[in-house]
């Protein structure tokens, strides 16, 4: 818990330079982060093998259209996540079929 993870892919698409998407597990029941343009907070239920991310609330800034499209894909991926596949410095969010929704790398200054 407490590590910040930076997305490097949303589905099969790399992120737009300068539009960093992150996720942080604040507790076993809460997440927060950046969706590339806006900040978000949400709830988590379950564990790595059967997870639901819900009640995602975001700030309401407007950004360039491409960044807003990426942000929508990212928030949709969070909502569709059903499993977390962790590795030492990477984390994958996958759907109920095991398809990659987003891949993250832990920030190097996190333990």
Choose among 90, 93, 111: nearest CA to 102.
93
> Both tokens of residue 88?
């030492």
Q: How many separate helices (H) and strands (E) can be counted in the chain? A: 1, 9
Is 111 domain-assigned?
no
The domain that contains 25 carries what CATH number?
2.40.128.270
- State the residue range of the domain holding 64: 4-106
Place of tokens 């892919």: 9
CB 45 within 8 A of CB 56: no
Confidence class for position 1, pLDDT limits 50, 70, 90: low
> Both tokens of residue 84?
């977390």
Reduced to 3 states (helix: H, G, I; strand: E, B; else coil), residue 38 is coil
> Both tokens of residue 15?
């992120």
Helix, strand and coil in the chain, % to nearest 5: 15, 50, 35
Is 33 domain-assigned?
yes
pLDDT, one tens digit per residue, over 78-89 is 999 999 998 778
> Both tokens of residue 13?
């698409």
Is 18 domain-assigned?
yes
pTM above 0.85, yes or no: yes
Arithmetic mean of pLDDT, 90-110? 89
């Amino acid at each position: 818990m407490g590590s910040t993870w930076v997305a490097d892919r949303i589905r099969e698409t790399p992120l737009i330079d300068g539009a960093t998407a992150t996720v942080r597990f604040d507790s076993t029941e809460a997440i927060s982060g950046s969706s590339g343009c806006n900040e978000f907070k949400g709830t988590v239920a379950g564990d790595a093998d059967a997870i639901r991310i819900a009640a995602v609330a975001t700030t309401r800034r407007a950004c360039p259209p491409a960044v807003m499209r990426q942000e929508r894909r990212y928030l949709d991926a969070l909502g569709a996540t059903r499993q977390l596949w962790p590795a030492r410095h990477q984390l994958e969010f996958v759907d109920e079929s095991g398809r990659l929704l987003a891949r993250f790398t832990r920030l190097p200054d996190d333990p």
